[in-house]
Structure 1
Amino acid sequence: MDQILSGPTAFALHRIPPQYRALLPSVPFIGAPACWRTVLKESLFRTLIQPPLYCLRQARSACSGAKNLKDQLWLGDLPFGAIENYGSDLQVTSPLMTLLTLARIPHVSDVRLLMAMYELCGTFSLFAPTEELCAALETARSAGARFFEEWRPVKKADGRPSGLWSRRPLVAIEELSSFANEVRTYRCGARFARCAKLVTGICASPFEVQATMLLSLPPKLGGQGFKGLENNKEIKLTSDARLLSGRVRCCYGDLFFENTTSGRPLDIECQSGLVHDRYESFISDSDRMAALQTMGIEVLPLTYDQLFNPEKYHAVCAHIAHLLGTKPPVLDARMHQMETNLRYRLFTSWNTPF
C-alpha cells in the first residue's frame, strides 16, 4: 500500500486518455529511498506527470520527506473503493478519493476543488499529448498494439486537436453526494461536502463549468446566485419541434432554468469555438433554437467573449435576471472582490498545476 499516488498527481493521471495511459513505463517502488529519481527520469512519465509526486501514506514511518515527494498521511481505515490499480505495479486514489485528498491540501482553494469536481463529474477531460507521446502511440500501433479508445478528442474547426477530450463521467453526481455524506466527519470532509453541494450537474466542457459557476454560485463566493440551474437538461421535443430539428426525439440544454416568473423556461447555450458534439442528438444551432421556441422555451446563446469580458458579462447577467424575473445581486466591496477572484481562477487555472 506504499505506492498509492494521490492528490494532484492522481488527478493528472485521471485526466489521461486510456491509450496514452497504456504507454506509462513500469514504475519502481517510489517509497524506497531515491527511487522517485528513477521515475522522474523516465521520459514518458515525465511528459505525463510533473513533480512533486503526491503519495498517500498510511503510517508516519512510511513518509519519506524527499524533496520531490509530497506525503499525504492517512491514519485509519480508507473509505470503500478508495484505491484503484493503475497498470501492473502502481496504485492511485480513485476519482472520489482523489478529490478528498485535494480537499486536504491547504493551497487548493474551494474554487479549484469545485472545478476539479465538475471535471471528474463531467463528460470532458483536458489533456494535450506532446509530440513524443504521439510518436510513441503511433509506434505502438504500428507494432500491433490495440488500445481502449472510448475517449474521443474534440477537434477545432480547422481539424487540429484542442486538448479537450470527450468521455463518460468518472464520478456520478449521486456518487459524489453519497461520498460527501460518508466522509463528512473525516479531516477536511466538511469542506469536501460543502463544495460537493454546489455542483449543479454534468458539464461537457470547461466553458460550461465557467458559465455554471459564475451564474449559480452565491454572491458571497463570487457568483450571481441564480437558482434552479440544471446542466445538460434533457428536453423531450414535441412533434412540431422534432420536425424543425430533423426528427430528433430530444435535445439537451446546456444551462437550463425550468422555473421563471414568466412561465417560459430558459435555455442558455454555450457557443464555444469548438465542435459542440451532442452525439446522437446533435442539432444545428438555428434549427435547434427554432424547435425549442415552438415549445415556449427561451433560448439565449452565450459566447466565451461575453463571459470573459467583465462589461459584457454583467450586461448578459442583467438580461438573464430579466428573463428569470429577478434582479442581479447588489454587490458590496467584499462581493466584488470575490467575483474578481472567482473570475481569475476560472479563466486561468484549468491547465495550471494545483
Structure 2
Amino acid sequence: MPYAAAAAACAPAEHATPAAARGPTRAPPAPVLQQIVLGVAQITRYARFFDTAISFDLGFLSFLPITSLNNRAYRAISANRLPILLSTTYHEPMEPTLCHTSALEYWRSVRIGQRSFRAIEDTRPLLDEPPRKGSLAEPGPWWLERPLHVLVPHNSVRRASNEAVSHVEGGTLPPRSTLDSMNGFRVCSPELCFVQMATLWNLPKLIELGFELCGAYDLSDNSYRTCAPLTSVEKLTAYANSLDKTHGKRKAIKALRYVANGSASSRETILTMLLTLPYRMGGYGLKQPLLNHRIDLGRRERRIAGKNYLVCDLYWPEAKLDVEYDGGNHEDPEQMLKDSMRRDALVSMGITVLTVTKWQLENGGSMNAIAHTVAEHTGKRLRYVDPDFTRANRQLRRDLLGF
C-alpha cells in the first residue's frame, strides 16, 4: 500500500483514546485490516526520519506512536502472521515507566519541540502492575538505548530481560512523580529523575546535571540549541524535600545547593562550577552569579549597542561585574564589532566586562588567574590550601572537561 494512501486512510488524532476506556474490540474484516496494517507498517519504515512523532487512532489497534506499534501488531507484522492478528482481540498491555538513565535520555531527546503529557497523581497503582516481560521489548521510545531502565515497586516483580533493567521503588512517591507521555509509555518527572541519578553519579556530575535541567540549552545532537528549562532549582529542591526515605535524596539536596537557574550552555555551566564550588570540591568558592541576567539599557547605551537590553553570561550585581564565555570565532569581523559595541555599552553603565575563551577555560593556570581577578572585583580573598586544593581542582576539571 503506498505511503500516501496509507496516510489518507488513517486520520491523525491528537491523542488516542486509552484502550481501557474503549474496552476490547473485535477486529474488522480481514482484508480491510490487512491493508491498513501493511500500510502502517510501510509508514513505520520511514517514520524514524521525521522529527515529530506520527500518531493514529484506528480504534482497534492504537498505534502510539507508529514507530513502536503495539506489541501484538508488531510481533504479527515482523513474523508475517497477519491471520493471527486479524482473528484475535486486542488488549492494551501495561505500559512501562522509564526511570534513571532512560528517563534522562528521554528528557534530553525532547528538549526541542512541543511535548504533551498527562500528569499522574497516584503512581502506586501503576507500579503495582508492572508490564509483562514480553512487553518490555517494544515500549514506545524506540530511539532510546537498550536496555531500558524501568520502575517497579518491589523485588518480586522485577523482570529479567536483555531489553530492560528493573529498579525497585518501594516508597510512596509524591503526586505527579511520573508522566504519561501519551505515546505508549510513562516516564519519571525531571525532578524524580534527578534524585534517581544521584544514586549513580558523583557529586560534580550531579551538579552539572542540575544546571542542565534548569538551563536553556540542549545537548541531544552534540550542538548547542536554545530551549526552555525542564525544571528549576526551586522545583527540584521542593520535590527532593517532599520525599520520604528515598535513595539519592540527601545527595540530591546537597547538590542543589550549588546549582543555579538560567545557564545557556554546558561551558557556562562548567565555568560557573569552577568559580563557585567550595575549595574541598576543587572550585574557588566565589559567590554564585546570576546567569544570563538581563540588563536594561539607558538611552545613551541603547544608541551605543543598537539594542534595548543586553544579557550577561555570569553577572555579579554587587560588583557590577560581567564575565562572558566566548567559545566562538574571534576572527569574524561582524561579531568582533558587535562584541565591541556591547562592551562599550556596559562600560558606559559602570559594568566591568571580563571575557573567558575556550582555551582559558581548558587551561588550569589561566583559570586560576581569572578566578583571582573575579575574586578581586567581588571582594573575596582566596584562601585555599595546597596541595589539597590543587588535587581537588584537577579532579574537578577531569570530571567536567574530561582531561
TM-score, scaled relative to structure 2: 0.66
1:150-209 Cα distance to aligned partner (Å, 9 max, x none): xxxxxxxxxxxx622211111023212322322375332111111112112210100110
Distance in 1 separating the partners of 2:365 and 2:348: 32
Aligned position for 2:12: none
Cα shift at 1:333: 2.8
Indicate the structure (1 or 2) with the bigger Cα radius of gyration: 2
Q: How does 1:327-338 map to 2 (within 5 A)?
A: 327-338=381-392
SS at match of 2:262: coil
Q: 2:104 aligns with which of 5, 8, 11?
A: 11
1:64-99 Cα distance to aligned partner (Å, 9 max, x none): 133553322111321221111224210010111111
Cα shift at 1:109: 0.8
Aligned position for 2:214: 121
Cα shift at 1:101: 1.2
Q: How many residues align?
A: 291
Q: How does 1:89-168 map to 2 (within 5 A)?
A: 89-105=184-200, 108-128=201-221, 163-168=223-228
Cα shift at 1:18: 6.7
Q: 1:323 aligns with which of 359, 363, 377?
A: 377
Aligned position for 2:322: 267
The alpha-carbon distance between structure 1 residues 194 and 295, as it changes in their structure 2 partners (threshold 3 A), is same
The alpha-carbon distance between structure 1 residues 110 and 274, as it changes in their structure 2 partners (threshold 3 A), is farther
Aligned position for 2:316: 257
The alpha-carbon distance between structure 1 residues 338 and 183, as it changes in their structure 2 partners (threshold 3 A), is farther
Which residue identity is paired with 2:155? R
Aligned position for 1:146: none
Answer whether contact 1:221 1:342 (CA < 8 A) is retained.
yes
Answer whether contact 1:60 1:73 (CA < 8 A) is retained.
yes
Aligned position for 2:249: 189
Q: 2:160 aligns with which of 65, 73, 93?
A: 65
Aligned position for 1:84: 179
Which residue identity is paired with 1:325? G
Distance in 2 separating the partners of 1:296 and 1:177: 35
Distance in 2 separating the partners of 1:18 and 1:209: 17
Answer whether contact 1:235 1:251 (CA < 8 A) is retained.
yes
SS at match of 1:66: coil
Which shifted more, 115-124 or 70-79?
70-79
Which shifted more, 237-246 or 59-68?
59-68
Distance in 1 separating the partners of 2:144 and 2:307: 46
1:207 partnered with 2:267: yes
- Residue identity over aligned pairs, in percent, reads 25
Answer whether contact 1:125 1:164 (CA < 8 A) is retained.
yes
- Give the CA RMSD over aligned residues: 2.8
Point out which structure has higher relative CO (alpha carbons under 8 A, 6+ apart).
Answer: 1
The alpha-carbon distance between structure 1 residues 242 and 225, as it changes in their structure 2 partners (threshold 3 A), is same
Distance in 2 separating the partners of 1:235 and 1:254: 11
The alpha-carbon distance between structure 1 residues 251 and 19, as it changes in their structure 2 partners (threshold 3 A), is closer
Distance in 2 separating the partners of 1:18 and 1:324: 35
Structure 2 gaps, min length 5:
1-93, 116-128, 331-336
SS at match of 1:15: helix
Cα shift at 1:347: 1.2
Aligned position for 1:217: 277
Aligned position for 1:138: none
SS at match of 1:267: strand
1:279-331 Cα distance to aligned partner (Å, 9 max, x none): xxxx9321111111111110001111101011221122222222223333423
Which residue identity is paired with 1:54? H
Answer whether contact 2:149 2:164 (CA < 8 A) is retained.
yes
